[in-house]
Protein backbone atom coordinates (compact mmCIF):
# COMPACT_ATOMS: atom_id res chain seq x y z
CA UNK A 1 0.00 0.00 0.00
CA UNK A 2 2.89 2.37 0.76
CA UNK A 3 6.02 3.25 -1.17
CA UNK A 4 8.39 1.43 1.14
CA UNK A 5 11.39 -0.54 -0.08
CA UNK A 6 9.67 -3.38 -1.93
CA UNK A 7 7.17 -1.15 -3.69
CA UNK A 8 9.93 1.17 -4.87
CA UNK A 9 11.79 -1.81 -6.30
CA UNK A 10 8.72 -2.78 -8.29
CA UNK A 11 8.47 0.81 -9.53
CA UNK A 12 12.11 0.73 -10.67
CA UNK A 13 11.58 -2.63 -12.36
CA UNK A 14 8.42 -1.58 -14.21
CA UNK A 15 10.05 1.59 -15.52
CA UNK A 16 13.11 -0.31 -16.69
CA UNK A 17 11.07 -3.05 -18.36
CA UNK A 18 8.89 -0.49 -20.13
CA UNK A 19 12.04 1.09 -21.49
CA UNK A 20 12.98 -2.32 -22.93
CA UNK A 21 9.66 -2.68 -24.74
CA UNK A 22 7.89 -4.94 -22.25
CA UNK A 23 4.18 -4.25 -21.73
CA UNK A 24 3.47 -4.36 -18.00
CA UNK A 25 0.26 -5.03 -16.11
CA UNK A 26 0.37 -4.09 -12.42
CA UNK A 27 -2.21 -5.66 -10.10
CA UNK A 28 -2.56 -3.79 -6.80
CA UNK A 29 -5.23 -3.21 -4.14
CA UNK A 30 -7.32 -0.03 -4.31
CA UNK A 31 -5.52 2.95 -2.78
CA UNK A 32 -2.03 1.56 -3.41
CA UNK A 33 0.54 4.36 -3.56
CA UNK A 34 2.49 2.31 -6.08
CA UNK A 35 -0.55 2.05 -8.33
CA UNK A 36 -1.10 5.80 -8.10
CA UNK A 37 2.55 6.53 -8.87
CA UNK A 38 2.98 4.34 -11.93
CA UNK A 39 2.49 6.25 -15.18
CA UNK A 40 0.36 5.00 -18.06
CA UNK A 41 3.40 4.52 -20.27
CA UNK A 42 5.03 2.32 -17.59
CA UNK A 43 2.20 -0.10 -16.76
CA UNK A 44 -1.53 -0.52 -17.03
CA UNK A 45 -2.76 -0.58 -13.44
CA UNK A 46 -5.45 -3.08 -12.47
CA UNK A 47 -7.00 -2.86 -9.00
CA UNK A 48 -8.68 -5.65 -7.09
CA UNK A 49 -9.31 -6.35 -3.38
CA UNK A 50 -6.42 -8.02 -1.50
CA UNK A 51 -7.25 -8.64 2.15
CA UNK A 52 -4.23 -10.64 3.33
CA UNK A 53 -3.32 -14.16 4.34
CA UNK A 54 -6.90 -15.35 4.85
CA UNK A 55 -8.34 -13.88 1.65
CA UNK A 56 -8.74 -17.16 -0.23
CA UNK A 57 -11.05 -15.41 -2.71
CA UNK A 58 -7.98 -13.64 -4.07
CA UNK A 59 -7.13 -16.87 -5.90
CA UNK A 60 -10.23 -16.62 -8.04
CA UNK A 61 -10.03 -12.85 -8.56
CA UNK A 62 -6.44 -13.15 -9.77
CA UNK A 63 -7.26 -16.20 -11.88
CA UNK A 64 -10.01 -14.28 -13.67
CA UNK A 65 -7.68 -11.33 -14.20
CA UNK A 66 -4.93 -13.56 -15.61
CA UNK A 67 -7.32 -15.39 -17.90
CA UNK A 68 -8.74 -12.11 -19.17
CA UNK A 69 -5.40 -10.38 -19.77
CA UNK A 70 -3.35 -13.45 -20.80
CA UNK A 71 0.11 -12.25 -19.76
CA UNK A 72 3.09 -14.37 -20.78
CA UNK A 73 4.42 -14.37 -17.24
CA UNK A 74 3.24 -13.57 -13.71
CA UNK A 75 5.81 -12.00 -11.38
CA UNK A 76 4.69 -11.84 -7.73
CA UNK A 77 6.31 -9.38 -5.33
CA UNK A 78 4.04 -9.24 -2.31
CA UNK A 79 3.52 -11.37 0.77
CA UNK A 80 0.37 -11.25 2.93
CA UNK A 81 -1.32 -13.96 0.93
CA UNK A 82 -0.61 -12.62 -2.54
CA UNK A 83 2.46 -14.83 -2.94
CA UNK A 84 0.70 -18.13 -2.21
CA UNK A 85 -2.67 -17.19 -3.70
CA UNK A 86 -1.03 -15.59 -6.73
CA UNK A 87 1.00 -18.73 -7.36
CA UNK A 88 -2.12 -20.88 -7.18
CA UNK A 89 -4.03 -18.50 -9.47
CA UNK A 90 -1.27 -18.52 -12.07
CA UNK A 91 -1.07 -22.31 -11.93
CA UNK A 92 -4.84 -22.66 -12.43
CA UNK A 93 -4.71 -20.18 -15.31
CA UNK A 94 -1.84 -22.05 -16.96
CA UNK A 95 0.63 -19.13 -16.91
CA UNK A 96 4.22 -19.54 -15.61
CA UNK A 97 4.98 -17.60 -12.42
CA UNK A 98 7.98 -16.46 -10.44
CA UNK A 99 8.23 -14.94 -6.99
CA UNK A 100 10.55 -12.28 -5.59
CA UNK A 101 11.19 -12.88 -1.88
CA UNK A 102 12.29 -9.83 0.11
CA UNK A 103 12.43 -11.10 3.70
CA UNK A 104 14.80 -13.52 5.41
CA UNK A 105 12.59 -14.99 8.13
CA UNK A 106 12.27 -18.80 7.96
CA UNK A 107 8.93 -20.23 6.86
CA UNK A 108 6.98 -23.26 7.98
CA UNK A 109 7.60 -26.66 6.47
CA UNK A 110 4.15 -26.52 4.89
CA UNK A 111 5.00 -23.28 3.10
CA UNK A 112 8.25 -24.72 1.78
CA UNK A 113 6.50 -27.88 0.64
CA UNK A 114 3.42 -26.40 -0.99
CA UNK A 115 4.18 -22.79 -1.94
CA UNK A 116 7.55 -22.85 -3.67
CA UNK A 117 6.71 -25.63 -6.17
CA UNK A 118 4.17 -23.20 -7.65
CA UNK A 119 6.96 -21.05 -9.09
CA UNK A 120 9.36 -21.66 -11.96
CA UNK A 121 11.95 -19.53 -10.15
CA UNK A 122 12.26 -17.73 -6.82
CA UNK A 123 14.22 -14.48 -6.88
CA UNK A 124 15.91 -13.47 -3.62
CA UNK A 125 17.03 -9.88 -3.14
CA UNK A 126 20.13 -10.96 -1.22
CA UNK A 127 22.39 -13.95 -0.80
CA UNK A 128 21.32 -14.00 2.85
CA UNK A 129 17.71 -14.76 1.86
CA UNK A 130 18.90 -17.36 -0.63
CA UNK A 131 20.85 -19.12 2.11
CA UNK A 132 17.77 -19.19 4.37
CA UNK A 133 15.71 -20.89 1.66
CA UNK A 134 18.49 -23.34 0.84
CA UNK A 135 18.71 -24.36 4.50
CA UNK A 136 14.95 -24.91 4.49
CA UNK A 137 15.14 -27.28 1.57
CA UNK A 138 14.29 -25.19 -1.51
CA UNK A 139 16.16 -26.63 -4.49
CA UNK A 140 19.21 -24.53 -5.42
CA UNK A 141 18.32 -24.58 -9.13
CA UNK A 142 15.04 -22.81 -8.30
CA UNK A 143 16.76 -19.87 -6.58
CA UNK A 144 18.24 -16.79 -8.26
CA UNK A 145 19.73 -13.86 -6.35
CA UNK A 146 18.98 -10.48 -7.92
CA UNK A 147 19.81 -7.75 -5.46
CA UNK A 148 17.61 -4.74 -4.85
CA UNK A 149 18.67 -1.54 -6.55
CA UNK A 150 18.93 2.12 -5.76
CA UNK A 151 18.70 5.19 -7.97
CA UNK A 152 22.00 6.42 -6.59
CA UNK A 153 22.04 9.75 -8.44
CA UNK A 154 18.78 10.79 -6.77
CA UNK A 155 20.46 10.74 -3.35
CA UNK A 156 23.51 12.80 -4.23
CA UNK A 157 22.38 16.13 -2.88
CA UNK A 158 23.92 18.83 -0.70
CA UNK A 159 22.61 19.52 2.77
CA UNK A 160 20.37 22.55 3.20
CA UNK A 161 21.24 22.93 6.87
CA UNK A 162 18.96 25.90 7.50
CA UNK A 163 15.95 24.00 6.15
CA UNK A 164 16.88 20.83 8.03
CA UNK A 165 17.09 22.34 11.52
CA UNK A 166 13.93 24.36 10.93
CA UNK A 167 11.98 21.38 9.54
CA UNK A 168 12.68 19.17 12.55
CA UNK A 169 12.91 21.81 15.27
CA UNK A 170 16.62 21.23 15.96
CA UNK A 171 19.32 23.48 17.34
CA UNK A 172 21.98 24.86 15.04
CA UNK A 173 24.69 22.62 16.52
CA UNK A 174 22.61 19.42 16.58
CA UNK A 175 24.27 16.21 15.43
CA UNK A 176 21.48 14.23 13.79
CA UNK A 177 21.30 10.48 13.31
CA UNK A 178 18.30 8.54 12.02
CA UNK A 179 16.50 5.26 11.54
CA UNK A 180 14.41 4.79 8.40
CA UNK A 181 12.16 1.78 8.93
CA UNK A 182 8.61 0.69 9.61
CA UNK A 183 7.68 0.85 13.29
CA UNK A 184 7.40 -2.90 13.74
CA UNK A 185 9.13 -5.26 16.22
CA UNK A 186 11.71 -6.77 13.87
CA UNK A 187 13.23 -3.38 13.07
CA UNK A 188 14.76 -3.25 16.57
CA UNK A 189 14.06 0.38 17.51
CA UNK A 190 13.90 -0.57 21.22
CA UNK A 191 17.58 -1.49 21.33
CA UNK A 192 18.70 1.82 19.89
CA UNK A 193 16.50 3.72 22.32
CA UNK A 194 18.14 1.81 25.22
CA UNK A 195 21.52 2.95 23.92
CA UNK A 196 20.56 6.63 23.69
CA UNK A 197 20.99 7.74 27.36
CA UNK A 198 24.66 6.68 27.41
CA UNK A 199 25.25 8.24 23.99
CA UNK A 200 23.74 11.52 25.15
CA UNK A 201 26.15 11.65 28.07
CA UNK A 202 29.01 11.58 25.58
CA UNK A 203 27.32 13.67 22.87
CA UNK A 204 24.84 16.10 24.50
CA UNK A 205 23.84 17.68 21.17
CA UNK A 206 22.86 14.34 19.59
CA UNK A 207 19.33 13.95 18.19
CA UNK A 208 17.69 10.78 16.86
CA UNK A 209 15.06 11.01 14.12
CA UNK A 210 12.82 7.94 13.65
CA UNK A 211 11.31 7.94 10.16
CA UNK A 212 8.47 5.58 9.33
CA UNK A 213 5.03 4.49 10.44
CA UNK A 214 3.68 1.31 11.95
CA UNK A 215 1.73 -0.39 14.75
CA UNK A 216 4.46 0.19 17.35
CA UNK A 217 4.25 3.98 17.20
CA UNK A 218 2.43 4.32 20.55
CA UNK A 219 4.72 1.80 22.26
CA UNK A 220 7.87 3.49 20.96
CA UNK A 221 6.50 6.87 22.07
CA UNK A 222 6.01 5.45 25.58
CA UNK A 223 9.55 4.10 25.66
CA UNK A 224 10.93 7.47 24.57
CA UNK A 225 9.04 9.17 27.39
CA UNK A 226 10.01 6.54 29.98
CA UNK A 227 13.69 7.02 29.12
CA UNK A 228 13.38 10.81 29.35
CA UNK A 229 14.25 11.25 25.68
CA UNK A 230 11.36 13.46 24.57
CA UNK A 231 13.69 16.31 23.56
CA UNK A 232 16.36 14.12 21.99
CA UNK A 233 14.27 11.67 19.94
CA UNK A 234 11.60 12.57 17.36
CA UNK A 235 9.03 10.35 15.71
CA UNK A 236 9.22 11.99 12.28
CA UNK A 237 6.71 9.84 10.36
CA UNK A 238 6.85 8.73 6.74
CA UNK A 239 8.70 11.11 4.40
CA UNK A 240 8.97 11.15 0.63
CA UNK A 241 11.87 13.62 0.63
CA UNK A 242 14.57 11.33 2.03
CA UNK A 243 17.26 12.49 -0.43
CA UNK A 244 17.02 15.97 1.07
CA UNK A 245 17.19 14.51 4.59
CA UNK A 246 19.98 11.96 4.17
CA UNK A 247 22.48 14.61 3.12
CA UNK A 248 22.11 16.27 6.53
CA UNK A 249 22.60 13.16 8.67
CA UNK A 250 25.83 12.17 10.36
CA UNK A 251 24.92 8.50 10.10
CA UNK A 252 22.07 6.06 9.59
CA UNK A 253 21.35 3.37 12.17
CA UNK A 254 19.53 0.18 11.20
CA UNK A 255 19.11 -2.03 14.31
CA UNK A 256 16.86 -4.60 12.61
CA UNK A 257 16.86 -8.14 13.97
CA UNK A 258 16.17 -9.63 10.56
CA UNK A 259 16.22 -7.93 7.16
CA UNK A 260 16.24 -9.21 3.61
CA UNK A 261 18.63 -6.48 2.46
CA UNK A 262 17.43 -3.06 3.58
CA UNK A 263 16.62 -0.48 0.90
CA UNK A 264 17.17 2.37 3.37
CA UNK A 265 20.77 1.15 3.67
CA UNK A 266 21.23 1.46 -0.09
CA UNK A 267 19.70 4.93 -0.08
CA UNK A 268 21.86 6.19 2.78
CA UNK A 269 25.02 4.73 1.27
CA UNK A 270 24.19 6.41 -2.06
CA UNK A 271 23.96 9.72 -0.21
CA UNK A 272 27.42 9.18 1.29
CA UNK A 273 26.10 8.51 4.80
CA UNK A 274 28.01 5.99 6.95
CA UNK A 275 25.88 3.26 8.52
CA UNK A 276 25.63 1.24 11.71
CA UNK A 277 23.59 -1.91 11.12
CA UNK A 278 22.98 -5.36 12.54
CA UNK A 279 25.09 -8.24 11.30
CA UNK A 280 22.06 -10.28 10.22
CA UNK A 281 20.15 -11.34 7.13
CA UNK A 282 21.21 -9.60 3.94
CA UNK A 283 22.44 -6.44 5.69
CA UNK A 284 26.15 -7.35 5.43
CA UNK A 285 25.73 -7.26 1.64
CA UNK A 286 24.73 -3.59 1.80
CA UNK A 287 26.97 -2.60 4.71
CA UNK A 288 30.55 -3.86 4.49
CA UNK A 289 32.15 -3.74 7.92
CA UNK A 290 34.85 -1.06 8.17
CA UNK A 291 34.22 -0.13 4.51
CA UNK A 292 30.97 1.85 4.40
CA UNK A 293 29.86 1.31 7.97
CA UNK A 294 29.99 -0.86 11.05
CA UNK A 295 28.14 -4.12 11.72
CA UNK A 296 27.12 -5.11 15.23
CA UNK A 297 25.43 -8.16 16.77
CA UNK A 298 21.63 -7.88 16.58
CA UNK A 299 19.63 -7.06 19.73
CA UNK A 300 22.61 -5.48 21.52
CA UNK A 301 22.09 -1.94 22.81
CA UNK A 302 25.67 -1.78 24.05
CA UNK A 303 27.14 -2.78 20.68
CA UNK A 304 24.95 -0.24 18.90
CA UNK A 305 26.03 2.50 21.27
CA UNK A 306 29.72 1.64 20.92
CA UNK A 307 29.58 1.65 17.11
CA UNK A 308 27.61 4.90 16.92
CA UNK A 309 29.99 6.53 19.39
CA UNK A 310 32.98 5.44 17.36
CA UNK A 311 31.68 7.04 14.17
CA UNK A 312 30.68 10.23 15.98
CA UNK A 313 34.12 10.48 17.57
CA UNK A 314 36.01 9.85 14.32
CA UNK A 315 34.51 12.13 11.64
CA UNK A 316 37.36 11.50 9.19
CA UNK A 317 36.66 7.77 9.29
CA UNK A 318 32.94 8.42 8.93
CA UNK A 319 33.53 10.58 5.84
CA UNK A 320 35.75 7.90 4.30
CA UNK A 321 33.08 5.27 4.87
CA UNK A 322 30.44 7.52 3.35
CA UNK A 323 32.51 8.00 0.21
CA UNK A 324 33.14 4.26 -0.07
CA UNK A 325 29.44 3.53 0.25
CA UNK A 326 28.49 5.93 -2.53
CA UNK A 327 31.00 4.32 -4.89
CA UNK A 328 29.81 0.81 -3.96
CA UNK A 329 26.17 1.62 -4.68
CA UNK A 330 27.00 2.96 -8.12
CA UNK A 331 29.04 -0.11 -9.00
CA UNK A 332 26.97 -2.95 -7.51
CA UNK A 333 23.38 -1.83 -6.92
CA UNK A 334 22.35 0.08 -10.02
CA UNK A 335 18.75 0.00 -11.25
CA UNK A 336 19.95 -0.88 -14.74
CA UNK A 337 21.70 -4.01 -13.48
CA UNK A 338 18.64 -5.15 -11.50
CA UNK A 339 16.31 -4.65 -14.49
CA UNK A 340 18.62 -6.45 -16.92
CA UNK A 341 18.94 -9.47 -14.63
CA UNK A 342 15.18 -9.76 -14.18
CA UNK A 343 14.66 -9.43 -17.93
CA UNK A 344 17.27 -12.13 -18.58
CA UNK A 345 15.39 -14.40 -16.19
CA UNK A 346 12.11 -13.75 -18.04
CA UNK A 347 13.81 -14.69 -21.31
CA UNK A 348 15.11 -17.88 -19.75
CA UNK A 349 11.69 -18.88 -18.43
CA UNK A 350 9.89 -18.07 -21.67
CA UNK A 351 12.69 -19.37 -23.84
CA UNK A 352 12.35 -16.32 -26.04
CA UNK A 353 12.85 -12.55 -26.09
CA UNK A 354 9.89 -11.07 -24.18
CA UNK A 355 10.27 -7.57 -25.61
CA UNK A 356 6.87 -6.56 -26.95
CA UNK A 357 5.34 -9.32 -24.81
CA UNK A 358 3.40 -8.77 -21.60
CA UNK A 359 4.57 -9.21 -18.02
CA UNK A 360 2.35 -8.99 -14.96
Residue-wise pLDDT for 2-48, tens only, equals 777 789 899 999 999 999 999 999 999 999 999 998 988 999 999 99
The predicted model gives 56-77 an average pLDDT of 96
The answer on pLDDT for 226 being more than 70 is yes
Residue-wise pLDDT tens digits, 139-162: 999 999 999 999 999 999 999 999
Closest among 199, 221, 200 to 210, alpha carbons compared:
221
SS3 letters for 269-301? Answer: HHCCCCEEEECCCCHHHHCCECCCEEEECCCCH
- Residue 16's nearest CA partner among 147, 119, 149 is 149
5-149+334-359 topology per CATH: Rossmann fold (3.40.50)
pLDDT band at 247 (very low <50, low <70, confident <90, very high): very high
Whether the Cβ atoms of residue 257 and residue 280 lie closer than 8 Å to each other: yes
Q: Give the domain ranges of the chain.
A: 5-149+334-359, 152-332
Q: Give the span between the Cα atoms of 274 and 295, in whole angstroms.
A: 11
- For the cut 80, the answer to whether the pLDDT of residue 241 exceeds it is yes
Domain 152-332's class? alpha beta
Asked if pLDDT for residue 353 goes beyond 80, the answer is: no
Amino acid sequence: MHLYGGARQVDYLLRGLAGQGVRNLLAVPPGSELGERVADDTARVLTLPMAGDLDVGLIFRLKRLIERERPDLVHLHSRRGADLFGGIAARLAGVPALLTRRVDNPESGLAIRFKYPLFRKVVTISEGIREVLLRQGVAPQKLVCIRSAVDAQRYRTSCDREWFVREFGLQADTRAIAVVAQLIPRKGHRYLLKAMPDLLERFPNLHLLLFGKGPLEAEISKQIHALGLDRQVSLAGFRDDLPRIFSCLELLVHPALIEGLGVALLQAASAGVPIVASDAGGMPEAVRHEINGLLVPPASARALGDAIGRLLEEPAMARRMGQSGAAMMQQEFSVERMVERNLALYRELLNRDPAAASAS
